[in-house]
Amino acid sequence: MSFTAPKGSYDILPPDSSTFLAVRDALSRPARLAGYEYIETPIFEDTGLFARGVGESTEVVSKEMYTFDDKGGRSLTLRPEGTAGVMRAVIEHKLYAGQLPVKLWYAGPNFRYERPQAGRYRHFTQVGAEAVGVDDPMLDAEVVALAWDGYRTLGLRGFRLLLTSLGDETCRPPYRALLQSFLSNLDLDADTRRRAEINPLRVLDDKRPQVRAQLDGAPVMVDHLCSECAEHYDGVRTGLAAIGVEWEETPQLVRGLDYYMRTTFEFVHSGLGAQSAIGGGGRYDGLSAAIGGPDLTGIGWALGVDRTLLALRAEGVAVPAGPRVQVYGVPLGTTAAARLFALTAALRAAGVPADMAYGSRGLKGAMKAADRSGAAYAVVLGDRDIEAGTAQLKDLRSGDQVAVPLDALIATIQEKLT
């Protein structure tokens, strides 16, 4: 019997795994530079947190959750996203009692029982950022810009920022009623009619031509914002324009999670086919209260690491991940192996990434391993070298080889590597 990774999941193997780490690092870097601090929350939470936080009517909650009872009879769910857990932690530990906004970033796996396809997995990784407790449109602009910067610094160019405002509890209900009455006059199938009753905004995002054709002239939220929401949205756009972030007004933008209000956005990439969203987020001012917390505002995003990697590949952008090691030890015989073992440890202690050939492979096999390692230099050591108090330092690119006194080896290597 043999096993494979479960359907919808995959292994991230070397050398791609270094790119994965580099992308995760690059996507979170702008947030770290802007004062966001790292938070790590459990991979499972009480099922009720997602039901109430993300929303029972969403597909994520109603169809896609990995839910199980633990041995103590508690219903737990593998997190399908990170915002609800972060908000739960902010409330539980009263982080809002300190300086506001509470700025947090995180990275890790999420789980959704979706139909797997290219770019859509059941186990996927997000980098996220959340700013809680301040309702300032300039903060919205900061949050959006941090994601934009993350993609740009990775070298991505083929992405677009879709932006809209979903209004708030004052202006959304009357707009919803208006939209429902517009939809009720259309020629729609029974399923779509039902959807129009539960979540009419989702009908606006219907991709089928026969539905699309009828949606011309449908009322859109941005034309019906209350004055506070309109002013807030203007502030966000002014902030974004001031720092050169470009966006597309997308009034039909629909997100898959229920907690959004006001500023809402998505980053899409043209090289990915159907699963084009490489990241998304928005304001969630009602989330804290919905999960039993105080009245706290919040805005944030999550960027899909898996899809960002696919987008980079589609654009042919290489992410510099750095060499695995820079020096590789090639011992000739057991005495030399013991000396090189200690020398390799000393190189690492001096901050030089180093490895050596283990298991007596002979000169040829060990040199091949040195070449494969990607190292810039090999240190070749034999009994005769030990007697002479030297080692052979070989430049693996040029092939040049020089004898270096053993006691000057680390300093010589450090000098050559700078």
Angle (CA) 19 65 172, round 5°:
95
* Residues 179, 173: Cα–Cα separation, whole Å: 10
Q: Six-digit token pair at 232?
A: 């807030």
Residue (200 or 279) nearer to ligand HAM, CB:
279
Residue (133 or 256) nearer to ligand HAM, CB:
256
Cα Rg of the chain, angstroms: 27
- Beta-bridge mates of residue 392: 380, 403
Considering only 55, 128, 137, 329, the residue that binds ligand HAM (CB under 6 A) is 128
* 297 binding ligand HAM? (CB under 6 A): no
* 306 binding ligand HAM? (CB under 6 A): yes
* 277 binding ligand HAM? (CB under 6 A): yes
Residue (77 or 326) nearer to ligand HAM, CB:
77
* 286 binding ligand HAM? (CB under 6 A): no
Q: Which residue has its beta carbon closest to ligand HAM?
A: 304
Which residues in the 330-349 window bind ligand HAM by CB under 6 A?
none
Helix (H) or strand (E) holding 356: strand 354-356
Which range of residues in 45-53, 79-87, 189-197, 227-235 is near ligand HAM by CB under 6 A? 79-87
* 55 binding ligand HAM? (CB under 6 A): no
CB atoms within 10 A of CB 198: 9
Which residues in the 222-261 window bind ligand HAM by CB under 6 A?
256-257
* Residues 350, 348: Cα–Cα separation, whole Å: 5
Which range of residues in 38-46, 237-245, 288-296, 303-311 is near ligand HAM by CB under 6 A? 303-311
* 81 binding ligand HAM? (CB under 6 A): yes
* 282 binding ligand HAM? (CB under 6 A): yes
Which range of residues in 29-37, 281-289, 339-347, 386-394 is near ligand HAM by CB under 6 A? 281-289
- Residue 338 Cα distances to 350, 380, 381, 393, angstroms: 19, 13, 10, 17
* Residues 329, 375: Cα–Cα separation, whole Å: 10
| Dihedral angle computed from the Cα positions of residues 199, 205, 206 and 210, in that order, rounded to the nearest 10 degrees | 120
The least CB distance from residue 150 to ligand HAM, in Å, is 12
Which H, E and C letters describe 187-228, residue by residue?
A: CCCHHHHHHHHHCHHHHHCCCCHHHHCCCCCCCCHHHHCCHH
How many residues touch ligand HAM under the rule CB under 6 A: the total is 26
Which residue, among 43, 50, 53, has the nearest Cα to 78 in the 3D structure? 43
* 30 binding ligand HAM? (CB under 6 A): no
Interhelix angle 334-349/409-417, nearest 10 degrees: 50
Residue (30 or 82) nearer to ligand HAM, CB:
82
Considering only 19, 41, 77, 126, the residue that binds ligand HAM (CB under 6 A) is 126
Binding site for ligand HAM (CB under 6 A): 81-83, 112, 114, 120-121, 124, 126, 128, 130, 256-257, 277-282, 284, 300-302, 304, 306-307
